[in-house]
Amino acid sequence: MFITFEGGEGTGKSTQVKLLAERLRAEGVDVVITREPGGTPAAESLRNLLVSGDVNSWTAEAEALLNYAARDSHLNEIIRPALLAGKTVICDRFMDSTRAYQGYAGGCSMNLIDILEAKIVGSTKPNLTFVFDLDPIIGLKRAKDRGAENEDRFERKGLAFHQKLRDGFLAIVQADPYRCKIIDAAKNIAEIDAANWKHLRG
**pLDDT tens across 122-157, in order?**
999 999 999 999 999 999 888 887 765 567 888 889
How many residues does this entry show for the chain?
A: 202
Least confident of 46-55, 82-91, 100-109, 173-182: 46-55
Q: Is the pTM of this model over 0.85?
A: yes
Position 117 scores a pLDDT of: 98
Residue 32 contacts by C-beta under 8 Å, 6 or more apart in sequence? Answer: 78, 82, 87, 88, 89, 90
Inform me whether the pLDDT recorded for 65 exceeds 90: yes
**pLDDT cut 70: percent of the chain above it:** 98
Position 186 scores a pLDDT of: 93
Q: Which fold has domain 2-201?
A: Rossmann fold (3.40.50)
Position 143 scores a pLDDT of: 80
Which ranges in the chain belong to alpha helices (H)? 13-26, 41-51, 60-74, 80-84, 95-97, 110-116, 136-146, 159-175, 189-201
Position 180 scores a pLDDT of: 97
